[in-house]
Chains A and B, each alone.
Chain A
Amino acid sequence: MSEAVPPLGGARFNGLAMIEDAGLMGMITLRGDLASAAMKAAVKTALGLGIPDQRQALSGEGGSALWMSPDELLLICARDGVAQVIASLEDALAGRHFLALNVSDARAVIRVTGAGARETLAKLCPVDLAPGTFTPGMVRRTRLGQIPAAFWLDGRGAFHLICFRSVADYAFGALCDAAAPGGAVGVHG
């Protein structure tokens, strides 16, 4: 049996920031009533996490839960744990109106780290990336150049950017261009 092929194949670029293919991970789109007790319990059971607030990303040992919209989360977990998480959600939410889908192959994830990470993203995304404004645990759905994208900042200062698989090359190329040496803006420390 063949293994899944990641869209960027481990690509890496070191400029003002380090741009790296974050590889394969498990992703689940979860839609439903995020305010309901059932949903809270379901996510808690499946991933050990609460429901993230607007523009918030919660992370724990089991994975992450990213706020996407008032009725949608993106859950991130180990790739081989997806079926189990979905089963757990379906079990907990049985009889309720919700949607849980495995979308692990639909997207690429790119990690952006280093001193120039904020400025690299700010060249492409209309997001306030000042250190005091965009803080760890925040997620933002936005656009990167000409494509839709989202990113979140983890507790160790790494940005994780997700985009659709088909435009992974564009996203990686645009990030490398933005992180090209000589282009430091010098505003986001």
Chain B
Amino acid sequence: MSTRLATGGRRLDRSRRVAFTFNGKRMQGHPGDTLASALLANDQMLVGRSFKYHRPRGIVASGAEEPNALVGLGEGARFEPNQRATTTELFDGLSCISQNHWPSLETDIGAVNGWFARFLPAGFYYKMFIHPRPFWKHVYEPFIRRSAGLGKVPNPGDPDRYEHFHFFCDVAVIGGGVAGLQAALAAAEAGARVLLMEQTAHWGGRAPVDGGAVEGQPVVDWIDATLARLQDMPHVTLRNRCMGAGVYDHGYLLGYERVSDHAPGSDAPRHRLWRIRAGQIVTATGAIERPLSFAGNDVPGVMLASAVRDYAVDYGVSAGDRTVVVTNNDDAYRTAITLKTLGLEIPAILDARQQGGGALAEEARGMGIRVENGKGIAKVKGGRRVTGVAICAQAGEGAVLEEIGCDAVAMSGGWSPVVHLWSHCGGKLIWDEALALFRPDPAQPPRGADGAGFVLAAGSANGALSLGAVLADAHAAGQAAAEATGHAPGATPAPQGTEDTEAPIAPVWLMPQGARTALRMKSWLDYQNDVKVSDVQLAAREGYESVEHAKRYTTLGMATDQGKLSNINGLAILSDALGQPIPQTGTTTFRPPYTPISFSAIAGAARGPLFQPVRKTPIHGWHEANGADFEPVGQWHRPYCFPRGEEGRHEAVNREIRQTRESVGLLDASTLGKIIVKGPDAGRFLDMLYTNMMSTLKPGRCRYGLMCNENGFLMDDGVVVRLDEETFLCHTTTGGAEAIHGHMEDWLQCEWWDWKVHTANVTEQYAQLAVAGPNARKLLQKLSNDDLSAEALPFMGWTEARISGIPARVHRISFTGELSFELAVPAGRGLALWEALMVAGEEFGVMPYGTEAMHVMRAEKGFIMIGDETDGTVIPQDLGLDWAISKKKHDYIGKRAQQRAHMADPNRWKLVGLETLDGSVLPDGAYATAPGHNANGQRNTQGRVTSSYHSPTLGRGIAMGLVHRGPDRMGEVLEFPTLDGGILKARIVDPVIYDKDGEKQNV
């Protein structure tokens, strides 16, 4: 039984109790408990089921490396899957459920998989589910998904608040253990701005449990004193519950702060994502103990020796009354000594080393503990709980020498430095033969833009395992980081810590070393994904020599714990199976985040109304108040139409078009891009930017222009206005303003840097209103004393006028084919002008029209729309726009590309109008079929629909499309298969269907 001891538990507040539930069962713990320690205190050793075989799983570790104790935490909208019990601080009212079991944790049907384990070897899924192919989608995948029980999505949405925080410092230290504290202190004493992050709620790391002395004082006192010193330094920021999640290029570092996970219901955000720029990063991330690979090492009650010690010292919890310790190093003796001191039984310490341990072993023997050198565990007895161990000689094949009754096993296979953050951005590792561990190679750090390293490892994370070595290493790292950021380190030496007199570790990758198949098939490497020693060996036999391939084939290290316990053991087994040294096998790639972080933290504030910016025109509020049905255009929201009463979209659009064609309508065109281009070289510049000639445009006149990219493809269009001799105003598409402005600056800054041209994006300075329809002039003259007659302001001209007292630039341009004026006024006056026009226009029945009416009207006129008729592969010549391509200019952007053979090929698809024989509307994007099939067995095609609408003006469907040699094939009928299996027939016609001679707009 695991239980709460009568005394001890330095993190606990024993005077208070907190209540929580696990699978609905009521339990109690103390403030200071983790969920894991509280579960153990309630004798809840069984906490989950493994992924593949649904084997019973107990708590193995005490920190972020825990692979088994994953729970679904919270309820309803606050439910969170895959939360590690070992890193979850207990709070009153916590409720959690175990995962991957059905119908219950105790009785799980999926456990039958375990009986067939010998038929579910490594790569089983690949081997089994590949044939027959259609079975994957319809049979195998749904089955596998149903049996995958690790977590569910919360429903409904998350009610908590999340945020980002940008922070800058000279030195960021990750890890608040002894190494992190000392590194931070050394850097701060040199004057560097320091950020020190600790993932748990506690400072000092393992040191308070492991003990030792610094400068003759107990290490806990040194921790308190150092923390106090750091807190007093104004240039030091301390952050606990904040994990270093990932290291990226240029000293970019992500910190994941769990602000109020432990205090639900507060008004603080739940998580905060720290987006840090650090000059230097010190990874003082400690080390993680490795399990030993023996048969039955996954039975609940088998735990890491350090975790057993943590639970006893930090939380006053014993994993069992009788604990067998099994080890290949001296550190695990500390666990035996700790437990014995607390009055618990240690039936035996099994030391796999033939020579045994050093001083700590002597101390254990001195306490009367039985120590067996050269021995190991052949097999753990028990199913859902450890009941005993069978011991054997480590050197043998597993012949049982003796069985010892016990209810817990504390194992230690040595320590692995946490090198994840060192490795994220390219730091390399070296294999330390003496310590049997991978540690950071100081000669190959992650490098910044200047080629110098920007990450330093410190303490245990750097392979320094004794307290004295940790302090010296961390001090040096802190000073080096300060120096690298321009701060001269002080002369203070590193504090002196206890030096160990430990006997060397003996690498043990399999216990016993010659374990037979039956034992290897029960020796777990990856607890969560059920990968055993035998699986990795099979992968090696089947030719998986790369550690990356073996990982994916066996799923070793691919669970939510990312192999924190299993990776090194697994690659050691692989190396052995391949008969090569461990460094030659190498490690898999360490990728951020270090442990999973919440999606909500990544999203931050970007949800609900802040999910994405919505750009609003100055008249947006009026549109909302008047029932506009909006559509997104880029980030703008534009009215698609303005339905009235019970009217549907289609009726509203038809009404708006009829009104505009017959009388007058208003369009909010404020979203159109407006870029000022000014300077002595402005005309020359625009001649290069547009396909047609702009330098010849006279002040007071407007000209439609096309803009292509270097590959000749049409990218934007719009009307260019010449304001004065040196100044042009370029209109762009709604979505194109920023990109085209960037395009202009790119050419000016990078290519034609000596041309005298200034640009400015003034899109938002102006509200732009289109007044279109036969009564447009009448309406405007009601509000203006300025002469807007055809003589004073002819088609494609512009003038300045006061409309309703508001100074406006009035352009005679038309996108509807009607008499049309576009009025540009300062944005702050836009709404006033719009309202004045609505009132003055009452006698003409004036109404606003939306983007759909605009689209239909432009299509009736055969005007192209960027993004409909173009898709990045269309050149102006495809659209019959040759008239807008200057033959006189020696160059413009895209000209050379348009002369390439493929672009000049007469066989290109070209723009035509399409008229359905039955008057119906062609589906947008439909393809015209051609005889025969292509190499993929698909019907050949000869064209496609680019725009298609119902035209209320003509009372039938109208469309434009790109058709193979289209303009040469007028009158031909094409066939367009529809999605419902039918075929629509359409005749190739002229794209201009309405007022071909332009008489209506030119009045």
Determine whether the beta carbon of B163 is less than 8 Å from that of A5.
no
The count of residues in chain A whose C-beta lies closer than 8 Å to any C-beta of chain B is 52
Instruction: List residues of chain B with CB within 8 A of the CB of A37.
Output: none
Instruction: List residues of chain B with CB within 8 A of the CB of A129.
Output: 166
Binds A, one of B262-270, B904-912, B915-923: B262-270
Instruction: List residues of chain A with CB within 8 A of the CB of B635.
Output: 167
Determine whether the beta carbon of A105 is less than 8 Å from that of B610.
no
Determine whether the beta carbon of A147 is less than 8 Å from that of B613.
yes
Binds B, one of A38-46, A54-62, A93-101, A109-117: A93-101
- Residues 786 to 836 of chain B near chain A (Cβ within 8 Å): 804-806, 826-829, 831-832, 836
Closest to B826 in A: A105
Q: For the complex formed, measure the closest distance between the CB of B101 and the CB atoms of chain A, giving whole angstroms.
A: 37
Determine whether the beta carbon of B605 is less than 8 Å from that of A166.
no
Encoded as 1 (CB less than 8 Å from any B CB) or 0, chain A from 126 to 142 comes to 11111001000000000
B756 within 8 A of A: yes
- Residues 32 to 76 of chain B near chain A (Cβ within 8 Å): none
Determine whether the beta carbon of B826 is less than 8 Å from that of A4.
yes
Q: For the complex formed, measure the closest distance between the CB of B727 and the CB atoms of chain A, giving whole angstroms.
A: 8
Instruction: List residues of chain B with CB within 8 A of the CB of A98.
Output: 758
- How far, in angstroms, from A78 to B154 measured CA to CA in the complex? 53
At the interface, is chain A mostly helix, strand, loop or mixed? loop
Determine whether the beta carbon of A126 is less than 8 Å from that of B610.
no
Q: For the complex formed, measure the closest distance between the CB of A147 and the CB atoms of chain B, giving whole angstroms.
A: 5
B121 within 8 A of A: no
Given A180-B161, A187-B237, A101:B168 Cβ within 8 A: no
Closest to A29 in B: B760
Determine whether the beta carbon of A166 is less than 8 Å from that of B615.
yes
Determine whether the beta carbon of B826 is less than 8 Å from that of A104.
yes
- How far, in angstroms, from A174 to B614 measured CA to CA in the complex? 12
B680 within 8 A of A: yes
Encoded as 1 (CB less than 8 Å from any A CB) or 0, chain B from 611 to 627 comes to 01111111000000000
A92 within 8 A of B: no
Instruction: List residues of chain A with CB within 8 A of the CB of B167.
Output: 122, 187
Determine whether the beta carbon of B193 is less than 8 Å from that of A130.
yes
Residue A123 contacts which of B163, B614, B758 (CB distance < 8 angstroms)?
Answer: B163
The count of residues in chain B whose C-beta lies closer than 8 Å to any C-beta of chain A is 51
A183 within 8 A of B: yes
- How far, in angstroms, from A130 to B606 measured CA to CA in the complex? 24
- How far, in angstroms, from A7 to B826 measured CA to CA in the complex? 12
Q: Which among B615, B756, B764 has the highest number of chain A CB atoms within 10 Å?
A: B764
Q: For the complex formed, measure the closest distance between the CB of A16 and the CB atoms of chain B, giving whole angstroms.
A: 11
Given A2-B832, A165-B827, A97:B679 Cβ within 8 A: yes
A181 within 8 A of B: yes
Instruction: List residues of chain B with CB within 8 A of the CB of A187.
Output: 167, 237
Determine whether the beta carbon of A101 is less than 8 Å from that of B165.
no
Determine whether the beta carbon of A166 is less than 8 Å from that of B166.
no
Determine whether the beta carbon of B605 is less than 8 Å from that of A1.
no
Determine whether the beta carbon of A97 is less than 8 Å from that of B756.
yes
Residue B163 contacts which of A126, A166, A178 (CB distance < 8 angstroms)?
Answer: A178
B739 within 8 A of A: no
Given A103-B762, A103-B765, A123-B163, A177:B610 Cβ within 8 A: yes
Instruction: List residues of chain B with CB within 8 A of the CB of A101.
Output: 676, 760, 762, 765
Residue A170 contacts which of B614, B758, B763 (CB distance < 8 angstroms)?
Answer: B614
Determine whether the beta carbon of A31 is less than 8 Å from that of B605.
no
Q: Which among B268, B277, B760 has the highest number of chain A CB atoms within 10 Å?
A: B760
Given A5-B618, A182-B266, A182-B268, A126:B166 Cβ within 8 A: yes
Instruction: List residues of chain B with CB within 8 A of the CB of A89.
Output: none
Instruction: List residues of chain B with CB within 8 A of the CB of A47.
Output: none
Q: For the complex formed, measure the closest distance between the CB of B930 and the CB atoms of chain A, giving whole angstroms.
A: 45
B residues engaging A (CB < 8 A)?
161, 163-168, 193, 237, 266-269, 272, 275, 277, 605-606, 609-610, 612-618, 635-636, 676, 678-680, 756, 758, 760, 762-766, 804-806, 826-829, 831-832, 836
A residues engaging B (CB < 8 A)?
1-2, 4-7, 24, 29, 31-32, 71, 97-99, 101-107, 119, 122-130, 133, 145-147, 164-170, 173-174, 177-178, 180-183, 185, 187
Given contacts A6-B828, A166-B616, 7 further A-B contacts (CB under 8 A): A24-B828, A130-B168, A145-B606, A166-B764, A169-B616, A174-B605, A185-B272
Question: Mind listing 29 A-B residue pairs with CB under 8 Å?
Answer: A2-B804, A2-B806, A4-B829, A5-B832, A7-B828, A29-B760, A103-B760, A103-B762, A104-B826, A105-B766, A105-B829, A106-B765, A123-B164, A127-B166, A129-B166, A145-B613, A147-B613, A165-B764, A166-B764, A167-B615, A167-B635, A168-B616, A169-B616, A174-B605, A177-B610, A178-B605, A182-B161, A182-B266, A183-B268
